[in-house]
Chain A
Amino acid sequence: MPRHRQKQEKKHRESEIPVGSFSDIAFLLIIYFMVATTLVKVKSITADLPTGQKQPQAQLDKTPTVNLRGSEVYFNDNKLTLDELNKRLDALDLSDKPGDKRVVMLESSDETPYELYFKTLAAISANGGVVALVEEEAKK
């Protein structure tokens, strides 16, 4: 076989990548993602818990304090319900006050359930308060 003919034949061969099924694969992947994806709508409250040192006692006395004892709520040592707490916090107009005046102390006993804690946090945050957690003194 002459050499120049061999060369000609080689030129005629065209290699093609089969891409016909690419779109099918792609759409299958899309359907997979669309079926497997769940758009999670998370609902939450933003609780701003500043970190810092203990304030002097005089200043602590002026700061509104919410105390959770078991399933009971106390605001400045007065027992009340969550609705009443909401009204009392609303009356304080915390959102209009500067940063350090918006602090609400949150104290709780060991047996306080998270449900009540969360509702109290939500009430304080909704009324513009900044929550400061009160730590128990280390037992001597």
Chain B
Amino acid sequence: MRKRGRKKRKPVPIPVASMGDIAFLLIIFFMLLSDFAKDRDLPIELPRSQEVQKTKATVAARVAIDENATVYLDGERVGGAKDVEWGVRALLARTVTDDQRHVQFKCDSKLSREKFEPVLKAIAEAGGVIEAVGEQP
């Protein structure tokens, strides 16, 4: 007859030697895939529409116009439509297909046409395909 509790189990060592490697691989993964949003904090109230869909295309540039009609290209304040045109043109210079020419466009819903249309035209002139950002109601 065996006595209970006498048998001592040997401590099983958990292999942790490769944990650091895995962790650094994960860090590299996050660092490569992270795309920091440059225009998140701009005062922009987006327009609403039923037709908006989740953006599938990767955007080559981000253009935004805030409620004060200040124009931003990739988060940097620019002078106006002409600067947007040259900036987008430069960013799209190395692109080959239409899929690479998507330009995200954010604009405050209350702005009037005279403020935003020159920028829209500038993006089109530079060869960009406009991804106009909105929200679902």
Q: Which residues of A contact B (CB under 8 A)?
A: 19, 22-23, 26-27, 29-30, 33-34, 37-38, 40-51, 68, 108-115, 117-119, 121-123, 125-126, 133, 135
In the assembly, what is the distance between CA of A26 and CA of B21, in Å? 9
Q: Say yes or no: B20 contacts A26, CB within 8 Å.
A: yes
Check if B23 is an interface residue, CB within 8 A of chain A: yes
Contact A44 B132 (CB under 8 A): yes
The answer to whether the Cβ of B136 comes within 8 Å of any Cβ in the partner chain is: yes
Q: Is the CB of B53 within 8 A of A45?
A: yes
Asked if B134 and A46 sit within 8 Å, CB to CB, the answer is no
Contacts of B31 in A (CB 8 A): 33
- B 109-132 to A, binary, CB cutoff 8 A, 1 in contact else 0: 111111011001101110101111
- B47 interfacial contact with A, CB 8 Å: yes
Interface of B, helix, strand, loop or mixed by DSSP: mixed
Contact flag A42-B113 (CB < 8 Å), given A22-B20, A114-B47: no
Main secondary structure of the interface of A (DSSP, over half): mixed
Given A42-B54, A43-B134, A45-B51, also A37-B113 (CB < 8 A): no
- When the two chains form their complex, are residues B52 and A46 in contact, meaning their CB atoms are under 8 A apart? no
Q: Which residue of B lies closest to A135 (CB)?
A: B121
Asked whether B27 lies within 8 Å of A115 as measured between CB atoms, the reply is: no
Given A37-B30, A46-B102, A46-B131, A110-B114 contact (CB < 8 Å) = yes
Report 11 cross-chain contacts, Cβ distance below 8 Å, ordered by A residue: A42-B133, A43-B55, A46-B129, A47-B131, A51-B124, A68-B113, A110-B113, A114-B107, A114-B110, A118-B107, A133-B124
Interface size class on chain B is 35 or more
| Top 6 closest pairs, chain A to chain B, by CB | A26-B23, A122-B51, A118-B47, A49-B124, A23-B20, A115-B109
A120 to chain B, nearest CB (A): 9
Within 8 A of A (CB), among B17-76: 19-20, 23-24, 26-27, 30-31, 34, 37, 40, 47-55, 57
Q: Which residues of the partner chain A approach B19 to less than 8 Å between Cβ atoms?
A: 23
Q: Is the CB of A119 within 8 A of B54?
A: no
Given contacts A44-B132, A115-B47, 9 further A-B contacts (CB under 8 A): A29-B27, A45-B49, A46-B57, A48-B130, A49-B124, A108-B117, A114-B111, A117-B117, A118-B109
Question: In the complex, are the beta carbons of B112 and A43 less than 8 A apart?
Answer: no
**Closest B residue to A40 using CB positions:** B37
